[in-house]
Structure 1
Amino acid sequence: MSTYSGRSDRRAVVVGAGIAGVTAAIALRQRGWQVEVLERAATMEAAGSGLSLWPNGLRGLDAIGVGAGVREQSLAATEGGIRDTAGRWLARTDIAELRHRYGDLVVIHRTRLSEILRAALGAAPRFGCEVEAVESIAGGVRVRHSSGTTEADLVLGADGINSTTRTALWPRERPPIYAGYTAWRTIVTPVEPVHSGGETLGRGQRVGIAPLRDGRVYLFATANLPAGQRCPGDELGEIRRRFGTWHDPVPALLDAADPETILRHDIYELPPLRTFVRGRVVLLGDAAHAMTPNLGQGANLAVEDAVTLAALLDRIPDLPAALTEYDRVRRARVQPLARQSHRMGAALQLDWPAVTPVRNSLLRLVPDAAALRALGPILAWGPPA
């Protein structure tokens, strides 16, 4: 049996400098690992979107010592729920009660979160470094990349939904599947302050609003459209045509939006993998379980993966046994949530004229307290001891 706990020469290579990869690198370095982070992008460009950090994700960030800093740079959510296109509430989320039961819920600019994590990491990732091959060697793994070769005890594939690590070592697994809808995202500086967030449902399309700490607003929208369809040079015009007559403040936010900042991405999800581990290579975040964004849990589950992996490697001396346990607990955690998110997306994106009014009526009938209880299994998660 090979033991690793307590050694100071344990080496890990992290492929991908996103939330999952950098969080994992921080957690491992805090436990004495030597960690190198490889990122194929030449630079970390500013992200034009925000994200929600729920109590489970914030507990993970607390575990690596950055939770307080993240809260300071975030805006605590005060109101949430689902409306119809006229602005009438279909369902409300009692944020005060959610906070009382489970913990904080905040919204942060994705770029700001990345900056906080990279500052905590200390050493900069190796940018412009593309992984070409991952090979098993005696007692470890060899990574061949565009900057040379690195040998390590462990490789973490945290390189997103189109992971080259997963493609290379999980060749028989199914590729990502189009979920049936596209998404636009942007950050808007509103003329008038916006204090209320939430989503609005139409037929086969919806809009979400999330105020940020600096007064700007994260705005996103979805629509059922064929994959790959685009409106070059006029994405803002397209979403204005679709959502410009919906309730306030949607029209005003669209009027204030900068067409140069509109991001558009088709929504894909990853079919469930049979394992997150191949030898001494382990997958985290979207590389392991990319799901539709309907639960708002993508970044949170990535943080969970990272701190869980580091804790298990610290607690279980035998590295293969630690990876086996990671595979067991994380697949049991995230794969049901991915299915739940898929089902929720199917309901929220309904576009049949005869069915959408029924959906809206059913949403009105669900007690707010029941909806809050349903979040319990997601939000009550905590890092392994």
Structure 2
Amino acid sequence: MTRVERAIVIGGGIGGLTAAVALHRRGVRVTVLERADSLEPVGAAISLSPNALRGLDVIGLGDDIRALSAWQGDGGLRAPGGRWLSRTSAAAAAERFGGPLVLLHRATLVGHLAARLPSDAVRTAADVRLLDPGAAGDAGRPARVTTPGGELEADLVVAADGIRSAVRGALFPGHPGPVYSGFTTWRVVIPLPGVEFASHETWGRGRIWGTHPLKDGRIYAYAAAVAPAGEHAPDDERSELLRLYGDWHTPVPEVLAAARPEDVLRHDVHHIAEPLPALHHGRVALLGDAAHAMPPTLGQGGNQAVEDAITLAHHLDDLPGYTAARLPRTTAIARRAVRVARVNLMTGRVGTAVRDNALVALSKAAPALFLRGFDGIADWRPPGGATRSGEGGSGGGRMLADHGRQGLEENTP
């Protein structure tokens, strides 16, 4: 591939903006084209684990984000009645993986990323269509896209346009695209003054709930439940959460009492079950959900998008090298996320009881198993040499819950 001097990034989410900043720092002229009217994301919080934080170190942002970590102490997994199924030390997690997990609002991260781009680099309300993926090589041709303002050419197009990626469909028209994962999710970010709780995730039969504090004093709560695709509450989603989780342990009832119907977001979960044949074609590279959408059961969707972006900038003039570095890793993590979802969202009464008892037994007999389950994910380091390790700090409840999933999934027949 010829030297990349001009790049277009389609999508102004976390993966797209991280790629834009990484490319900008390498001297590439970058234009970000975002379909929405603003960069403010529709969503809630995101958990950044040490692997993504090391990626952000490459673009000079890691320490700024680490500073936003809320002290969460120890956390773990609970049953709906409040019994602890497993407890994991946040300090042990941070020590094993070289740093904390940071939970922050997506808008905060987007703001930090956008601030590191030139003021004219981002264009919103820009609906984009790929006209030509271009061709690499000295005799190649640039990629072309069309926008409301006309056609644009670039040496590289980064497709970060999400799970319903139009660019992915254009590059690989025979690929089946995303499939329904079998469950739906709700998310809430609200103040919850005066309520003390330990960061946790709770597993029921076909249902989970998590509550974690944010640095700004608000809390992030999320829920997931097995449900038919496209289903919605007959009244409002807060009422649906009350029906499903209203009798669970504190602070779940307190969160639901404090939330308003408009505070609750609901989305069905989809993932890409069949891996793409490559993460690039011509002069176009796919990243994030456009490349490998996965269930949120490992908390790695956004983290893998950051890894993609940093790796892509490293392989700027070698897109086959980008595919070789990212496709096997993201395929393996996505498949693991699907397997883990089957464990923590199982619906059978007997299977759920066996699962919970196994968690308790494993936690007492070999607590390190819950940390070992994240080996190979949270310990990733960017290509091109080591960066700041981010040693110290407290771990996060979401990672602790994910460790519990991992340990059980890897030690259950």
- Other structure's SS at 2:382 match: coil
Residue identity opposite 1:261 in structure 2: D
Alpha-carbon distance, 1:232 to partner: 5.6
Equivalent of 2:328, from 332, 349, 364?
A: 332
Following the alignment from structure 1 to structure 2, what is the Cα–Cα distance between the partners of residues 142 and 128? 19
Equivalent of 1:223, from 208, 222, 225?
A: 225
The structure-2 alpha-carbon separation of the partners of 1:194 and 1:287, relative to structure 1 and needing over 3 Å to count, comes to farther
Equivalent of 1:84, from 69, 79, 83?
A: 79
- Retained in 1: the 8 A contact 2:13–2:41? no
Residue identity opposite 1:120 in structure 2: R
1:190 aligns with 2:184: no
- Retained in 2: the 8 A contact 1:158–1:286? yes
Question: How high is the TM-score relative to the length of structure 1?
Answer: 0.94
Following the alignment from structure 2 to structure 1, what is the Cα–Cα distance between the partners of residues 72 and 54? 17
Q: Which moved more, 1:273-282 or 1:44-53?
A: 44-53
Alpha-carbon distance, 1:46 to partner: 4.9
1:381 aligns with 2:380: yes
Alpha-carbon distance, 1:79 to partner: 2.4
Match of 2:176 in 1: 174
The structure-2 alpha-carbon separation of the partners of 1:327 and 1:194, relative to structure 1 and needing over 3 Å to count, comes to farther
CA offsets 1:337-384 (integer angstroms, 9 cap, x no match) = 101100000111101112110111111222221111221211110111
Q: Which moved more, 1:161-170 or 1:286-295?
A: 161-170
1:210 aligns with 2:212: yes
The structure-2 alpha-carbon separation of the partners of 1:83 and 1:215, relative to structure 1 and needing over 3 Å to count, comes to same
Residue identity opposite 2:21 in structure 1: I
Residue identity opposite 2:58 in structure 1: A
- Retained in 2: the 8 A contact 1:76–1:107? no
Alpha-carbon distance, 1:76 to partner: 4.3
- Other structure's SS at 2:115 match: helix
Following the alignment from structure 2 to structure 1, what is the Cα–Cα distance between the partners of residues 197 and 118? 35
- Other structure's SS at 2:182 match: strand
Residue identity opposite 1:312 in structure 2: H
Following the alignment from structure 2 to structure 1, what is the Cα–Cα distance between the partners of residues 147 and 73? 46
CA offsets 1:242-278 (integer angstroms, 9 cap, x no match) = 1011011110111011211110000100121111111
- Other structure's SS at 1:180 match: strand
- Retained in 1: the 8 A contact 2:40–2:110? no
Match of 1:108 in 2: 104
CA offsets 1:38-68 (integer angstroms, 9 cap, x no match) = 0111123354411111100100111101112
Match of 1:20 in 2: 15
Q: Which has the higher contact order (CA 8 A, sep 6+)?
A: 2
Q: Which moved more, 1:132-141 or 1:228-237?
A: 132-141
Following the alignment from structure 1 to structure 2, what is the Cα–Cα distance between the partners of residues 122 and 11? 14
Alpha-carbon distance, 1:105 to partner: 1.2
Map 1:265-276 → 2, pairs under 5 A: 265-271=267-273, 272-276=275-279
User: Paired residues, what number?
Assistant: 373
CA offsets 1:200-219 (integer angstroms, 9 cap, x no match) = 01110110111101111101
Which stretches in structure 2 are left out of the alignment for 5+ residues? 135-139, 385-413
- Other structure's SS at 2:315 match: helix
Match of 1:95 in 2: 90
- Retained in 2: the 8 A contact 1:312–1:384? no
Which stretches in structure 1 are left out of the alignment for 5+ residues? 314-318
Following the alignment from structure 1 to structure 2, what is the Cα–Cα distance between the partners of residues 134 and 363? 52
Following the alignment from structure 1 to structure 2, what is the Cα–Cα distance between the partners of residues 334 and 196? 31
- Other structure's SS at 1:144 match: strand
Residue identity opposite 1:329 in structure 2: A
1:126 aligns with 2:123: yes
Following the alignment from structure 1 to structure 2, what is the Cα–Cα distance between the partners of residues 65 and 46? 22
CA offsets 1:125-183 (integer angstroms, 9 cap, x no match) = 11111112331454311111222111010111001101111111111111211011110
- Retained in 2: the 8 A contact 1:48–1:261? no
- Retained in 1: the 8 A contact 2:49–2:101? yes
Equivalent of 2:353, from 332, 357, 361?
A: 357
The structure-2 alpha-carbon separation of the partners of 1:47 and 1:131, relative to structure 1 and needing over 3 Å to count, comes to closer
Pairwise CA RMSD: 1.5
- Retained in 2: the 8 A contact 1:73–1:112? no
- Other structure's SS at 2:114 match: helix
- Other structure's SS at 2:116 match: helix
- Retained in 2: the 8 A contact 1:83–1:201? yes
Q: Which moved more, 1:41-50 or 1:183-192?
A: 41-50
Following the alignment from structure 1 to structure 2, what is the Cα–Cα distance between the partners of residues 136 and 380? 34
Q: Which moved more, 1:125-134 or 1:218-227?
A: 125-134
Following the alignment from structure 2 to structure 1, what is the Cα–Cα distance between the partners of residues 297 and 133? 37
Following the alignment from structure 1 to structure 2, what is the Cα–Cα distance between the partners of residues 369 and 61? 28
CA offsets 1:67-107 (integer angstroms, 9 cap, x no match) = 12112233244223211011111122221011112112111
1:279 aligns with 2:282: yes
- Other structure's SS at 2:40 match: coil
Following the alignment from structure 2 to structure 1, what is the Cα–Cα distance between the partners of residues 157 and 288? 14
1:309 aligns with 2:320: no
The structure-2 alpha-carbon separation of the partners of 1:134 and 1:249, relative to structure 1 and needing over 3 Å to count, comes to same
Identity value in percent: 45
- Other structure's SS at 2:349 match: coil
Match of 2:149 in 1: 147
1:369 aligns with 2:368: yes
Following the alignment from structure 2 to structure 1, what is the Cα–Cα distance between the partners of residues 88 and 179? 31
The structure-2 alpha-carbon separation of the partners of 1:122 and 1:40, relative to structure 1 and needing over 3 Å to count, comes to same
1:49 aligns with 2:48: no
Alpha-carbon distance, 1:3 to partner: 4.2
Following the alignment from structure 1 to structure 2, what is the Cα–Cα distance between the partners of residues 126 and 259? 32
Following the alignment from structure 2 to structure 1, what is the Cα–Cα distance between the partners of residues 234 and 112? 34
Runs of 4+ in 1 over 3 A off after TM superposition: 45-48
